[in-house]
């Protein structure tokens, strides 16, 4: 299964700092890709989508962003016992590290 997830994650590889962060849900909402910057004004929408679909694994590809937004995002990840993953050749820089470290299991 990790190979399939990695292939899908790599397909969504490119990101531009000018675009907003987005969630891309996988099969049966078991996992989700978050890609793009963490923008404080968008964290509520992201958390709402996660709360609706309740994935167990979040794959991260982010240059970081707003620290306050990342703390809220990380708190949600930890409280919902989500696992976090950064695929090879993907980025989780700056504030994204807070979200990654909040994962119950980190890959």
Separation of alpha carbons 59 and 36, rounded Å: 12
Separation of alpha carbons 61 and 38, rounded Å: 10
Separation of alpha carbons 104 and 89, rounded Å: 22
pLDDT in tens, 65-99: 999 999 999 999 999 999 999 999 999 999 999 99
**How many other β-carbons are positioned within 10 Å of the β-carbon of residue 34?**
23
Read off the pTM. Answer: 0.84
* Structure tokens that stand for 26 in this block: 């996988």
Q: Give the pLDDT score at 43.
A: 97
**Mean pLDDT value of segment 18-37:** 92
pLDDT in tens, 37-68: 999 999 999 999 999 999 999 999 999 999 99
């Amino acid at each position: 299964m990790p190979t399939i997830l990695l292939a899908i994650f790599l397909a969504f590889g490119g990101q531009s700092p000018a675009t907003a962060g987005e969630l891309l849900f996988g099969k049966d909402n078991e996992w989700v890709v978050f890609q793009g910057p963490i923008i404080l004004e968008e964290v509520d929408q992201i958390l709402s989508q996660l709360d609706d679909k309740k994935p167990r694994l979040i794959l991260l590809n982010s240059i970081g962003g707003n620290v306050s937004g990342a703390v809220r995002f990380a708190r949600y990840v930890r409280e919902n016992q989500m696992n976090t993953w950064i695929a090879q050749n993907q980025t989780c820089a700056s504030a994204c590290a807070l979200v990654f470290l909040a994962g119950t299991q980190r890959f």
